[in-house]
Amino acid sequence: DAMVIQNPRYQVTQFGKPVTLSCSQTLNHNVMYWYQQKSSQAPKLLFHYYDKDFNNEADTPDNFQSRRPNTSFCFLDIRSPGLGDAAMYLCATSRAGPNEKLFFGSGTQLSVL
């Protein structure tokens, strides 16, 4: 029944070693989001896709990239993870429009050693 699926649940990587987090959805929503959430803080939007249109937040570091090969899948690539990138990464999907709620995945907890 899971509608937004994130893999893996926990990811450990080494400092500077590229890592990819994945997200898939069964809802056929046209908007997909990646949020970064550090401990006891609010989720911070990194970027979102409206269909294939990519929207990057102004303060998202270049170290973070994303791909959306089709409606169902979205990937977050961290090219050279630093210690400060250790966080929970949340994927979410929704229909377009201000009245539509976001459906969140369970998140991937990233540790950087």
Q: Do residues 103 and 4 touch, judged by C-beta distance below 8 A?
A: yes
Q: Check residue 12 for interaction with another protein (CB under 8 A).
A: no
Sort 40 into a burial class: Cβ within 10 Å, 0-12 / 13-18 / 19+.
exposed
- CB atoms < 10 A from the CB of 34, how many? 24
Smallest gap, in angstroms, from Cβ of residue 82 to another protein?
22
Of the pair 70, 99, the CB lying nearest another protein is at 99
Q: Check residue 102 for interaction with another protein (CB under 8 A).
A: yes
Q: Check residue 96 for interaction with another protein (CB under 8 A).
A: yes
Binding test (CB under 8 A) with another protein, winner from 24, 34, 43, 110: 43
